[in-house]
C-alpha cells in the first residue's frame, strides 16, 4: 500500500528533501543512466535509486519517475533489483497501467537461474496487489511451489496467501490450496512447511464462511494426524514457526487423557525456550488441554509459574508487560495459587506505571489471611509514590483488600494513617475508601469517625472525596459532635461548590442530620433547601424540591425515605461476567489479554467505536477528537468506579434511555443516598426514585426499577420450576469447587433417568453442558467416552451464597444417570435435586 | 496468527518516518499519522506500549532515539511481536556494528529495507538469524552464491541454509586457534525496606559465550547447580560432593541446546553458533549473596537542613574488588547545595536527577565506606509539601564474583578432528535494580 499522496505542507519539512524539483532532477538522472553502459553505471544507479527510496520514505510522491525506474531495472545487480522491486511494490497499486510495464521483467526474473533472484521476483510480483494483473501471477506461483530451491518455495507459499487477498477466485481456481497442503505435509524444509501452514490457515479461515469444504479443511488442520505431524517435528522449526505450531496445537481437541499427556510430555521442554513467545504459546497449549481435568490443570499452574516469573524479569519493559498481562489473567483466575509468590509482584521504583498498575491489581487479588500484613505494608509504601495515579491506585488497593478480608483491624489503622499524610489526593482517595468500608463494616464507625472528624473539609478539593466526607457527616451525625456546624459552614459556601455531586450529597446529608439532631440543624436545613431550590443544576434543584415537598407532606415519611435503617453491604458487584472472562481465557496469548476484552470487541466493525480511518486527513483529525473523548471517558469510568459500585454507571445509562421514552419519568440521580448498594436495596430507597411520590402506582414503580437495572440479581422470568431459583451467572472457580467438594458432606445421591431422545443425542459432553447452562446449571468439568460420561456441575441459589455441587454419571446405553449432590445448605438440596432432574429429563426433548 | 503485522514503522522522536514497510493492505497508509496524533503528541506515550486506535492496534517500543511501531489489525500475539522487534534490533545492530539509533538507520536504510523484506513476509516472521542472513545479505550488497562476481569467494550454499534445521551454524568453519570464552553475567535485584529487611531479592543471570571453533563441535557444560550435580551423582553412583550447590529457579536456553537431553540427563549439551551468543538465562531467588549492604540515616533538621549519612559495606571476598560503584541518594527538589565528607570516592549533588551521587571507582571486599552530607534546602513559602523519600539506588560491578555462587565446573568440547581448545571463563556481578528504601 502506498503512502498517501503527500500534501504540499508536509513535504516542505526542512529536514527532508523538498518536493517537485527533486523528483524532476531524479527523473533526469535516471533517464540519463538508463542506457548507460559505463563501468560505474551500476554504482551511479545505486546512488540515484537510494535517493528515490529515501524520498519515498519521507513521503514525497516519486511516482512520476515510475517509467524511468523500470527502464533502469534491467540490471544484474541484486541491490539495484531489490530497490527497484521495493519501489514498484509501493507504487504499482496507484498506477496499475504503469505496473504492467514491470510485469515483463519480473516474469523474466522468476525464471532466472539464481534462486535468490527467482525468490525476490516472485515476492515482488505477489506484492504488486493489482487485481487485473492476477493472470500473470498464477503460473509463476504454481511453478514456485514446485521450485527445487527452498528459498523460492518458502516465498511462493506466502505468495499464495497474498494472491488469495488480491483475488480469492484466482487462488482457488488454480487449486493452490491443495498444492499448499501437499507441500505442507511433504516438504523436507521446516520454514516452507510453516509458511504453508500460515497461508492455509489464512485462506481457509476466510473461506470457511462461504464454503463447507473450507470449513472441513480447517477441521482437518486441527485433526490428530496433522497436529501430531507438526508436534513431532517441532524442534526443526524456527522459534517463530514454533509459536504457530503451538497455537495450532492449542486448538486441538484430544479424545482421551493419554493424548493429553503425550502432548504435554512432548512439549514440556518448550517451557525452557529462550523465546518468551514460545513459552507463552506452550503455556496456552497446557492450559487448554487440561481444562477438563481440574487437578492436572492446577499442577499446570504450578509448573508454569517459574517460567512466567522469569519472563517477567527478563527483557525490555514492553516484553515483560506482555507477559505480565498474561500472568495477571492467571492470577485473577486462581489467586490462591499465587498467594505465596506475592513478593514477585512488588513494584520496583523504576517500573513503568503500566507495569505497576498490573502488579497492584495482582497484589490485591492474591491477598489472603497469611500475606495480608506484608502486602498492605508494601502497598502503604506506594501511597507516598511520586507518581500520583499509582499512589491513588495503591490506596484503592488497600481498600479493596480491606473489603475482601474478615480481619480488617490493622488495615483500618493504615487507612486512617493515610489521612494524616496530609496530601490532597491521598486524603480524598482514603475518604472514599473509609466510606465504603463503613458501609460494609458499620462496626468500625467509632474509630473512623474520630479521625474523619478532624479533617477539615476545606482541605479537600476533589469532589469524590468531599462527597464521601459529607456522606459520613450525614450518616454519623449523631456520633460526630460538630457535624451540624460543619455542614452548616459547607452550606454557606454553596455557591462556591462547583460539583453537583457534592451539592447533592450535601442536600441529603443535611436532611439526615436534621432527622438525628433537629434543633441544631433546622436553620441549616432551611438554608440548604433554599439554596438547592435556586440551584441551576437540574438534579440538585429537583432533589431539593422533592425533599421540600416530602417534608411538607409528612416528616415521618420523609425520614423513612431519606434515612432508612441500612443493611451492611456484603456482596461485590463483579464488573466482568464469567462469560467474558472465559472468552478472554480462550484467546490466551493475544491482544485480548492485554486489553482484557474479547477480540470481537476490538476487531469487529460494530464494536470499534465511532470512528474508522479514512484516507482523508481532515476527517482524521475530527474523528480523532471523538475517539479521544471516548477513550478518556472510558478511562474515567474505569478509574473512578467506586469500590462497591458499577451499578451506578449502569443506572445512569438506564435513566438516560428511559428519559427519552417517557416524558414524565424523573431523572433519578443514582446516588441519592450515597451510591446504591447492590444487595441492600431497601424498598424505601426504591421509593425515592419514584417520580410522583407515593401516589404513583406500585406497578410503575417496579417497572422503573427494572429499567434502571436495579433488579439485576432477580431471576429472569423463570419457568414455573420448583420453589428454588438459581442465579443465572454463578461464579465458581475449579479450585474452590474442588475444595468444597472435599469439604461438604453428601446431601443426596440418587439415580434418575434421561429421556431416550436425550440419551441418543448425547454424542458429546458439550450438548448436555449447553442444555444445563440454559437452566442456570454450569458445568465445571466433563469427560468420558460413549456410553459413559461424567460431569461435574454447579449452581448457585439466587441472591445467596449457597452453592450446589453435582456429580453426574450418565450411561447413554441405559439412559440412566447417577446423581450426587452436595450443597452448602443441605435443606435446599431436595429442591435443587428436583430442579436438576427436571432439567435433565428435558434434555433432548426440545 | 502469531503476528500478522500489517506494517512496521521506524520513527524518530519528532515523529518523522525513518523507515516504513507495509506488509498488508488492511491498514491505511496514514496509520502513522494516527500514531503521532494519538500517542506521540498526547500524554499517552509511556502509559502503555500496546494501544488501540480505531481498528488497529499499535505495539511500540523505544530504542535509543527511535520508536519502532508494529501495526496490526487482527488479534495478534503480543509477546511474539515484541520479541520480533527485539530480535530485529539485535540483527540490525550486528549489521551496523553496535549502535542502533536514528543516524544508523538513516545511513543504512537500503540495507534495512532489504532485511525487512527477508525477516518478515506478509506479516509473518521468517528467519532472523544474523548468522544465516549475513551469508547472503552483506553490507556491500548482496552476495549471491550463483552470480559470477562472488566466484572467488565461495559461500557454502547460502540459500540452502536459509531455512535449514541447524540454522545457527554453518559448516566448514576453520580457526587456527580454537577458543571458547564464557562469561557469566549476573544482575542482582534487591528491594530493602527502610528497616533493613530484605523485601525482595533475586538474581537474573546469563551465560554469554563466544566461540571460535572449527567444524561442528559438540559442547557440554557442567555447573554447580543442584539438579545437575544430583543427577550426575546418581549416574556415577557416588555421593554428591559436599560444597555449595545452587538451586536454579528457572532456566531458559538458546535454541542450540538440546532440551530433551537437558530434561533427561540434566546436562547442557549443544552445537554452538559461531561467534557471540547467549547460551542460557537463569533466575535464582534462594541463597543470594548480596555484595553490598547499605545503611542510610537521614535526618531532617527543620525545614531547610538535612543530614544524610550513608554507610556502604562490601561483603564479598577480601581479595576481590568492585568497580564503578555509584550510590544515588535522592534529595528534595528544593535542594540548594550540599557539602560532603567521604572516606573514599567523590560525591556531588546532581540537580537534574535530584540526587546526591557518590562514586567510588574501586571498592575492595570486606571494607566499608561512608559518606556524610549536609544538605541545605531553599525554604518554600506556603503549604509544606512533604517529601516522599524515593529509594537509594546503587550501581556496581564485581568481577570474579557471582551473587548466586554459580560456578562452571567443566566445559568439554568434542570435535571429530580432535583438536585442543582453550577455554576462558569470566564471572561478573552487576547491580540490577538495587534499591534501598530510606
Q: Is the pLDDT of residue A710 over 70?
A: no
Higher-scoring residue by pLDDT: B432, A20? B432
Q: What is the pLDDT of residue A782?
A: 77
Q: Are the Cβ atoms of B249 and A310 closer than 8 angstroms?
A: yes
Contacts of A165 in chain B (CB under 8 A): 24-25
CA proximity to B183, closest of B232, B221, B136, B146 = B221
**How near does any CA of chain A get to the CA of B176, in Å?**
31
**In this predicted model, what pLDDT tens digit does every residue of A98-133 receive, in sequence order?**
777 778 878 888 888 888 888 888 988 888 877 778
The top-scoring range by mean pLDDT among A794-808, A819-833, B404-418 is B404-418
Contacts of B329 in chain A (CB under 8 A): none
Q: Are the Cβ atoms of A349 and B281 closer than 8 angstroms?
A: no
Categorize the per-residue pLDDT at B266 as very low, low, confident or very high, splitting at 50, 70 and 90. Answer: confident
List the single residue in A275, A323, A349 with the smallest CB-CB distance to B390.
A349
Give the whole-angstrom CA distance, residue A761 versus residue A770: 13
Contact (CB, 8 A) for B338 and B291? no
Residues of B numbered 316-375 whose beta carbons fall under 8 angstroms of chain A's beta carbons: which are they?
none
Higher-scoring residue by pLDDT: A312, A701? A312
Q: Is the pLDDT of residue A466 over 50?
A: yes
Scan for cell 473509609, then name that residue.
A434
**How near does any CA of chain B get to the CA of A223, in Å?**
18
Minimum Cα–Cα distance from A284: chain B residue: B77
Cell numbers for A581: 472472562
| Percentage of chain A modeled with pLDDT above 70 | 81
CA proximity to B338, closest of B308, B297, B300 = B308
**In this predicted model, what pLDDT tens digit does every residue of A761-801 receive, in sequence order?**
776 677 777 778 877 888 877 777 667 777 888 888 777 77
Q: What is the pLDDT of residue A491?
A: 87
Categorize the per-residue pLDDT at A571 as very low, low, confident or very high, splitting at 50, 70 and 90. Answer: low
Scan for cell 451525625, then name that residue.
A477
Beta carbons within 8 Å of A587's beta carbon, 6+ residues apart? A593, A598, A599, B75
Minimum Cα–Cα distance from B50: chain A residue: A594
Scan for cell 496509520, then name that residue.
B31
**In this predicted model, what pLDDT tens digit does every residue of A295-310 receive, in sequence order?**
889 899 988 998 898 8
For A60, which DSSP code? -
Q: What is the pLDDT of residue A626?
A: 38
- CA A479-A484-A487 angle, to 5 degrees, is 120
Q: Is the pLDDT of residue B211 over 80?
A: yes
- CA A715-A719-A720 angle, to 5 degrees, is 110
Higher-scoring residue by pLDDT: A284, A103? A284
List the single residue in A83, A119, A587 with the smallest CB-CB distance to B110.
A83
Higher-scoring residue by pLDDT: A569, B165? A569
Contact (CB, 8 A) for B8 and B21? yes
**How near does any CA of chain B get to the CA of A6, in Å?**
10
Q: What is the pLDDT of residue B186?
A: 93
Q: Is the pLDDT of residue A165 over 80?
A: yes
Give the whole-angstrom CA distance, residue A240 versus residue A222: 19
Q: Are the Cβ atoms of B189 and A348 closer than 8 angstroms?
A: yes
Q: Are the Cβ atoms of A313 and B204 closer than 8 angstroms?
A: yes
Q: Say what the pTM is.
A: 0.71
- Number of residues in chain B: 438
Cell numbers for A311: 519472563
Q: Is the pLDDT of residue A173 over 70?
A: yes
List the single residue in A150, A386, A627 with the smallest CB-CB distance to B54.
A627
Q: Which of A182-196, A215-229, A410-424 shows the lowest per-residue confidence on average (mean pLDDT)?
A: A410-424
Give the whole-angstrom CA distance, residue A732 versus residue A742: 15
Q: Is the pLDDT of residue B13 over 70?
A: yes
Q: Is the pLDDT of residue B409 over 70?
A: yes
- Number of residues in chain A: 846
List the single residue in B73, B159, B165 with the smallest CB-CB distance to A190.
B165
Q: Is the pLDDT of residue A555 over 50?
A: yes
One DSSP character per residue, A672-728 reads BTBS--SS---HHHHHHH-TTGGGS-HHHHHHHHHHTTTTTTSPPS--S--S--B-S
Categorize the per-residue pLDDT at A647 as very low, low, confident or very high, splitting at 50, 70 and 90. Answer: very low
Contact (CB, 8 A) for B90 and A161? no
Give the whole-angstrom CA distance, residue B251 versus residue B248: 7
**How near does any CA of chain B get to the CA of A272, in Å?**
4
Q: What is the pLDDT of residue B159?
A: 41
Give the whole-angstrom CA distance, residue A242 versus residue A254: 20
Q: What is the pLDDT of residue A616?
A: 36
Q: Is the pLDDT of residue B291 over 90?
A: yes
One DSSP character per residue, B22-44 reads E--SSS-TTHHHHHIIIIITSTT
One DSSP character per residue, A456-482 reads -GGG---HHHHHHHHHHHHHTTTTSTT
**In this predicted model, what pLDDT tens digit does every residue of A613-631 receive, in sequence order?**
333 333 333 333 333 444 4
The SS3 assignment for B63 reads strand
Q: What is the pLDDT of residue A697?
A: 38
CA proximity to A646, closest of A593, A585, A709 = A709
Give the whole-angstrom CA distance, residue A195 versus residue A119: 14
In the predicted model, what is the mean pLDDT of residues A360-387? Answer: 85
Q: Is the pLDDT of residue A828 over 80?
A: no
**Averaged pLDDT score across all residues of chain B:** 83
Q: Is the pLDDT of residue A689 over 60?
A: no
Q: Are the Cβ atoms of B204 and A314 closer than 8 angstroms?
A: yes
Mutate to test the interface with B, among A158, A249, A275 (most CBs of B within 10 A): A275
For B380, which DSSP code? P
Cα distances from A160 to residues A107, A188, A201, A495, A737, in angstroms, run 16, 19, 12, 71, 49
Segment holding A316, helix H or strand E:
none
**How near does any CA of chain A get to the CA of B51, in Å?**
8
In the predicted model, what is the mean pLDDT of residues A583-610? Answer: 75
Categorize the per-residue pLDDT at A407 as very low, low, confident or very high, splitting at 50, 70 and 90. Answer: low
Higher-scoring residue by pLDDT: A602, A539? A539
Categorize the per-residue pLDDT at A650 as very low, low, confident or very high, splitting at 50, 70 and 90. Answer: very low
Cα distances from B34 to residues B224, B232, B256, in angstroms, run 53, 58, 41
Contact (CB, 8 A) for A820 and A807? yes
Give the whole-angstrom CA distance, residue B306 versus residue A394: 29
CA proximity to A687, closest of A533, A557, A514, A566 = A557
Q: Are the Cβ atoms of A594 and B249 closer than 8 angstroms?
A: no
Q: Are the Cβ atoms of B124 and A59 closer than 8 angstroms?
A: no
Distance of CA A62 to the CA centre of its chain: 43
Give yes or no for B126 touching A (CB within 8 A). Answer: yes
Categorize the per-residue pLDDT at A274 as very low, low, confident or very high, splitting at 50, 70 and 90. Answer: confident
**In this predicted model, what pLDDT tens digit does every residue of B339-355 receive, in sequence order?**
999 999 999 999 888 89
Categorize the per-residue pLDDT at A380 as very low, low, confident or very high, splitting at 50, 70 and 90. Answer: confident
**Averaged pLDDT score across all residues of chain A:** 76
Q: Is the pLDDT of residue A657 over 80?
A: no
**In this predicted model, what pLDDT tens digit does every residue of B61-120 receive, in sequence order?**
988 889 999 998 888 888 899 999 999 998 898 888 778 889 888 888 888 888 998 899
Distance of CA A759 to the CA centre of its chain: 38
Q: What is the pLDDT of residue B371?
A: 94
Q: What is the pLDDT of residue A684?
A: 40
Pairing label, strands A816-823, A803-811: antiparallel
Pairing label, strands B50-53, B305-314: unpaired
Q: What is the pLDDT of residue A656?
A: 37
Higher-scoring residue by pLDDT: A397, A605? A397
Residue A787, preceding peptide bond in cis (omega within 30° of 0): yes
Q: Which of A69-83, A659-673, A796-810, B153-167 shows the lowest per-residue confidence on average (mean pLDDT)?
A: A659-673
In the predicted model, what is the mean pLDDT of residues A238-254? Answer: 89
Q: Are the Cβ atoms of A620 and B33 closer than 8 angstroms?
A: yes
Q: Are the Cβ atoms of B146 and A201 closer than 8 angstroms?
A: no
**How near does any CA of chain A get to the CA of B249, in Å?**
7
Q: What is the pLDDT of residue B434?
A: 92
- CA A481-A486-A490 angle, to 5 degrees, is 165
Q: Is the pLDDT of residue B227 over 50?
A: yes
- 3-state SS of A550-571 is HHHHCHHHHHHHHCCCCCCCCC
Give the whole-angstrom CA distance, residue B160 versus residue B45: 43
Q: Which of A716-730, A754-768, B12-26, B62-76 shows the lowest per-residue confidence on average (mean pLDDT)?
A: A716-730
Q: What is the pLDDT of residue B238?
A: 56
**How near does any CA of chain B get to the CA of A349, in Å?**
7
Segment holding A12, helix H or strand E:
none
Contacts of B142 in chain A (CB under 8 A): 78-79, 82, 116
Q: What is the pLDDT of residue A754?
A: 74
Cα distances from A654 to residues A75, A417, A598, A651, in angstroms, run 70, 39, 24, 5
Distance of CA B267 to the CA centre of its chain: 25
Pairing label, strands B179-192, B422-436: parallel
Q: What is the pLDDT of residue A658?
A: 37
Higher-scoring residue by pLDDT: A773, B397? B397
Q: Where would I find the beta strands (DSSP E) of B290-437? A: 292-301, 305-314, 321-330, 335-342, 346-350, 355-364, 368-377, 392-399, 408-414, 422-436
In the predicted model, what is the mean pLDDT of residues B291-307? Answer: 88
Q: List, as own/partner pairs, every contact residues B228-236 make where C-beta atoms lie below 8 angstroms and the sequence separation is at least 24, other chains included.
A: B228/B266, B228/B267, B230/B266, B231/B265, B231/B266, B231/B267, B232/B266, B235/B265
Environment class of A827 (CB within 10 Å of its CB; exposed 0-12, middle 13-18, buried 19+): exposed
The SS3 assignment for B421 reads coil
Q: How many CA atoms lie within 13 A of A533 on its CB side?
A: 11
C-alpha torsion angle, residues A404, A410, A416, A417 (rounded to 10):
-130
Q: What is the pLDDT of residue B310?
A: 93
How many CB atoms are located within 10 Å of the residue A424 CB?
Answer: 14
Beta carbons within 8 Å of A721's beta carbon, 6+ residues apart? A835, A838
Cell numbers for B358: 557518590
For B410, which DSSP code? E
Categorize the per-residue pLDDT at B386 as very low, low, confident or very high, splitting at 50, 70 and 90. Answer: low
List the single residue in B20, B53, B79 with the smallest CB-CB distance to A627.
B53
**In this predicted model, what pLDDT tens digit does every residue of B161-193 receive, in sequence order?**
444 455 678 778 889 999 999 999 999 999 988
Q: What is the pLDDT of residue B142?
A: 43
Q: Are the Cβ atoms of B82 and A54 closer than 8 angstroms?
A: no
Categorize the per-residue pLDDT at A415 as very low, low, confident or very high, splitting at 50, 70 and 90. Answer: confident
**In this predicted model, what pLDDT tens digit does every residue of A480-512 receive, in sequence order?**
888 888 888 888 888 888 888 899 999 999 999
Amino acid at each position: 500500500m502506498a503512502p498517501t499522496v503527500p500534501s504540499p505542507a508536509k513535504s516542505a519539512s526542512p529536514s527532508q528533501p523538498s518536493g517537485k524539483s527533486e523528483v524532476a532532477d531524479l527523473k533526469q538522472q535516471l533517464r540519463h543512466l538508463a542506457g548507460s553502459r559505463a563501468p560505474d553505471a551500476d554504482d551511479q544507479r545505486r546512488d540515484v535509486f537510494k535517493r528515490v527510496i529515501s524520498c519515498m520514505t519521507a513521503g514525497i510522491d516519486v511516482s512520476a519517475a515510475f517509467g524511468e525506474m523500470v527502464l533502469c531495472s534491467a540490471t544484474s545487480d541484486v541491490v539495484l533489483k531489490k530497490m527497484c522491486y521495493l519501489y514498484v511494490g509501493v507504487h504499482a497499486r496507484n498506477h496499475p497501467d504503469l505496473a504492467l510495464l514491470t510485469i515483463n521483467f519480473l516474469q523474466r526474473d522468476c525464471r532466472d537461474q539464481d534462486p535468490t533472484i527467482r525468490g525476490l521476483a516472485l515476492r515482488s510480483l505477489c506484492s504488486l496487489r493489482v487485481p487485473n494483473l492476477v493472470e500473470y501471477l498464477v503460473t509463476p506461483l504454481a511453478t514456485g511451489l514446485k521450485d527445487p530451491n527452498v528459498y523460492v518455495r518458502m516465498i511462493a507459499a506466502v505468495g499464495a496467501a497474498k494472491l488469495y487477498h488480491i483475488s480469492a477466485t484466482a487462488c482457488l481456481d488454480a487449486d493452490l490450496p491443495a498444492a499448499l497442503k501437499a507441500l505442507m505435509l511433504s516438504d523436507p524444509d521446516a520454514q516452507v512447511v510453516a509458511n504453508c501452514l500460515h497461508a492455509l490457515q489464512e485462506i481457509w479461515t476466510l473461506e470457511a464462511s462461504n464454503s463447507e469444504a473450507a470449513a472441513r479443511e480447517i477441521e482437518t488442520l486441527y485433526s490428530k494426524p496433522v497436529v501430531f505431524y507438526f508436534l513431532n517435528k517441532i524442534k526443526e522449526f524456527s522459534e517463530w514457526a514454533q509459536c504457530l505450531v503451538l497455537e495450532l496445537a492449542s486448538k486441538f481437541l484430544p479424545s482421551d487423557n493419554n493424548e493429553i499427556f503425550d502432548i504435554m510430555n512432548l512439549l514440556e521442554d518448550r517451557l525452557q525456550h529462550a523465546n518468551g513467545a514460545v513459552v507463552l504459546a506452550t503455556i496456552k497449549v497446557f492450559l487448554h488441554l487440561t481444562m477438563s481435568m481440574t487437578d492436572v490443570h492446577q499442577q499446570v499452574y504450578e509448573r508454569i509459574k517459574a517460567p512466567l516469573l522469569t519472563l517477567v524479569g527478563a527483557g525490555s519493559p514492553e516484553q515483560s508487560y506482555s507477559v505480565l498481562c498474561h500472568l495477571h489473567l492467571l492470577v485473577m483466575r486462581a489467586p490462591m495459587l499465587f498467594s505465596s509468590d506475592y513478593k514477585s509482584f512488588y513494584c520496583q521504583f523504576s517500573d513503568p506505571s503500566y507495569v505497576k498498575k498490573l502488579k497492584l491489581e495482582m497484589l490485591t487479588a492474591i491477598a489472603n489471611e497469611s500475606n495480608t500484613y506484608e502486602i498492605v505494608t508494601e502497598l502503604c509504601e506506594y501511597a507516598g509514590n511520586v507518581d500520583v495515579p499509582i499512589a491513588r491506585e495503591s490506596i484503592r488497593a488497600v481498600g479493596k483488600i480491606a473489603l475482601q478480608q474478615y480481619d480488617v483491624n490493622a488495615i483500618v489503622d493504615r487507612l486512617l494513617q493515610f489521612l494524616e499524610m496530609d496530601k490532597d489526593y491521598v486524603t480524598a482517595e482514603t475518604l472514599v475508601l473509609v466510606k465504603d468500608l463503613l458501609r460494609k463494616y458499620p462496626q468500625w464507625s467509632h474509630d473512623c469517625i474520630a479521625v474523619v472528624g478532624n479533617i477539615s473539609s476545606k482541605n479537600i478539593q476533589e469532589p469524590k472525596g468531599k462527597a464521601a466526607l459529607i456522606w459520613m457527616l450525614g450518616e454519623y451525625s449523631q456520633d460526630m459532635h460538630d457535624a451540624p456546624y460543619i455542614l452548616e459552614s459547607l452550606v454557606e459556601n454553596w455557591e462556591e461548590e462547583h460539583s453537583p455531586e457534592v451539592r447533592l450529597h450535601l442536600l441529603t446529608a443535611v436532611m439526615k442530620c436534621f432527622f438525628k439532631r433537629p434543633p441544631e440543624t433546622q436553620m441549616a436545613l432551611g438554608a440548604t433547601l433554599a439554596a438547592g431550590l435556586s440551584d441551576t443544576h437540574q438534579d440538585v434543584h429537583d432533589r431539593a424540591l422533592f425533599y421540600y415537598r416530602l417534608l411538607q407532606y409528612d416528616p415521618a415519611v420523609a425520614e423513612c425515605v431519606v434515612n432508612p435503617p441500612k443493611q451492611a453491604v456484603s456482596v461485590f458487584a463483579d464488573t466482568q461476567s464469567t462469560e467474558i472472562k472465559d472468552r478472554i481465557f480462550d484467546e490466551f496469548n493475544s491482544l485480548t489479554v492485554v486489553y482484557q476484552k474479547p477480540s470481537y470487541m476490538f476487531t469487529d466493525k460494530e464494536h470499534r467505536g465511532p470512528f474508522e480511518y479514512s484516507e482523508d486527513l481532515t476527517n482524521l483529525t475530527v474523528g480523532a477528537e471523538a475517539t479521544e473523548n471516548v477513550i478518556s471517558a472510558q478511562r474515567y469510568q474505569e478509574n473512578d468506579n467506586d469500590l462497591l459500585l458499577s451499578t451506578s454507571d449502569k443506572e445512569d445509562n438506564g435513566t438516560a434511555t428511559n428519559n427519552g421514552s417517557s416524558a414524565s419519568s424523573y431523572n433519578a440521580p443514582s446516588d441519592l443516598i450515597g451510591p446504591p448498594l447492590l444487595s441492600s436495596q431497601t424498598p424505601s430507597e426504591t421509593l425515592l426514585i419514584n417520580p410522583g411520590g407515593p401516589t404513583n402506582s406500585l406497578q410503575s414503580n417496579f417497572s422503573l426499577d427494572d429499567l434502571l437495572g436495579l433488579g439485576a440479581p432477580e431471576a429472569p422470568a423463570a419457568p414455573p420450576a420448583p420453589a428454588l431459583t438459581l442465579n443465572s451467572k454463578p461464579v465458581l472457580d475449579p479450585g474452590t469447587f474442588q475444595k468444597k467438594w472435599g469439604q461438604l458432606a453428601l446431601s443426596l445421591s440418587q439415580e434418575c433417568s434421561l429421556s431416550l431422545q436425550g440419551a441418543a443425542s448425547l454424542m458429546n459432553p458439550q450438548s448436555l453442558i449447553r442444555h444445563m447452562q440454559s437452566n442456570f446449571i454450569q458445568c465445571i468439568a466433563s469427560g468420558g467416552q460413549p456410553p459413559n460420561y461424567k460431569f461435574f456441575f454447579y449452581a448457585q441459589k439466587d441472591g445467596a451464597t449457597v452453592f450446589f455441587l453435582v456429580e453426574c454419571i450418565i450411561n447413554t446405553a441405559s439412559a440412566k444417570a447417577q446423581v450426587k449432590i452436595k450443597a452448602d445448605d443441605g435443606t435446599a438440596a431436595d429442591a435443587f435435586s428436583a430442579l436438576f432432574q427436571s432439567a435433565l429429563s428435558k434434555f433432548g426433548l426440545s | 496468527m502469531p503476528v500478522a503485522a500489517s506494517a512496521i514503522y521506524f520513527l524518530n522522536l519528532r515523529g518523522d518516518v525513518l523507515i516504513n514497510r507495509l506488509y498488508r493492505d488492511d491498514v491505511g497508509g496514514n496509520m502513522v499519522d494516527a500514531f503521532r496524533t494519538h500517542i506521540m503528541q498526547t500524554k499517552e506515550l509511556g502509559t502503555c506500549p500496546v494501544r488501540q486506535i480505531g481498528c488497529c492496534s499499535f505495539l511500540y517500543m523505544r530504542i535509543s532515539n527511535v520508536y519502532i511501531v508494529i501495526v496490526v489489525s487482527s488479534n495478534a500475539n503480543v509477546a511474539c511481536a515484541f520479541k520480533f522487534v527485539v530480535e530485529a534490533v539485535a540483527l540490525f545492530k550486528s549489521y551496523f556494528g553496535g549502535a542502533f539509533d536514528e543516524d544508523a538507520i538513516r545511513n543504512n536504510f537500503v540495507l534495512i529495507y532489504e532485511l525487512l523484506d527477508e525477516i518478515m513476509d506478509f506479516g509473518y516472521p521468517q528467519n532472523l538469524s544474523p548468522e544465516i542472513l549475513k551469508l547472503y545479505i552483506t553490507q556491500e550488497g548482496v552476495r549471491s552464491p550463483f552470480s559470477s562476481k562472488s566466484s572467488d569467494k565461495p559461500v557454502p550454499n547460502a540459500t540452502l541454509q536459509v531455512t535449514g534445521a541447524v540454522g545457527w551454524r554453518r559448516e566448514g568453519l576453520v580457526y587456527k586457534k580454537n577458543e571458547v570464552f564464557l562469561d557469566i553475567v549476573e544482575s542482582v535485584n534487591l528491594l530493602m525496606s527502610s528497616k533493613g529487611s530484605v523485601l525482595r531479592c533475586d538474581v537474573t543471570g546469563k551465560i554469554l559465550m563466544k566461540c571460535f571453533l572449527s567444524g561442528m563441535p559438540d559442547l557440554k557444560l557442567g555447573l554447580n547447580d543442584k539438579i545437575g550435580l544430583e543427577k550426575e551423582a546418581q549416574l556415577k553412583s557416588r555421593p554428591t560432593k559436599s560444597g555449595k550447590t545452587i538451586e536454579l529457579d528457572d532456566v531458559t536456553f538458546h535454541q542450540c541446546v538440546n532440551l530433551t537431553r537437558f530434561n533427561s540427563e540434566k546436562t547442557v549439551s549443544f552445537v554452538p553458533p559461531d561467534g557471540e551468543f547467549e547460551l542460557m538465562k537463569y533466575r535464582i531467588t534462594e541463597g543470594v549473596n548480596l555484595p553490598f549492604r547499605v545503611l542510610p540515616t537521614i535526618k531532617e533538621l527543620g525545614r531547610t537542613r538535612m543530614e544524610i549519612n550513608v554507610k556502604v559495606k562490601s561483603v564479598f571476598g577480601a581479595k576481590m574488588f568492585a568497580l564503578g560503584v555509584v550510590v544515588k541518594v535522592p534529595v528534595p527538589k528544593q535542594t540548594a547545595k550540599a557539602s560532603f565528607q567521604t572516606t573514599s570516592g567523590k560525591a556531588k549533588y546532581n540537580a537534574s536527577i535530584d540526587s546526591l551521587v557518590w562514586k567510588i571507582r574501586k571498592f575492595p571486599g570486606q571494607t566499608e565506606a561512608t559518606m556524610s552530607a549536609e544538605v541545605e534546602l531553599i525554604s518554600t513559602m506556603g503549604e509544606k509539601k512533604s517529601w516522599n523519600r524515593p529509594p537509594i539506588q546503587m550501581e556496581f560491578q564485581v568481577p570474579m564474583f557471582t551473587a548466586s555462587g554459580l560456578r562452571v565446573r567443566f566445559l568439554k568440547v568434542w570435535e571429530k578432528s580432535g583438536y585442543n581448545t582453550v577455554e576462558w571463563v569470566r564471572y561478573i556481578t552487576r547491580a540490577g535494580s538495587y534499591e534501598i528504601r530510606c
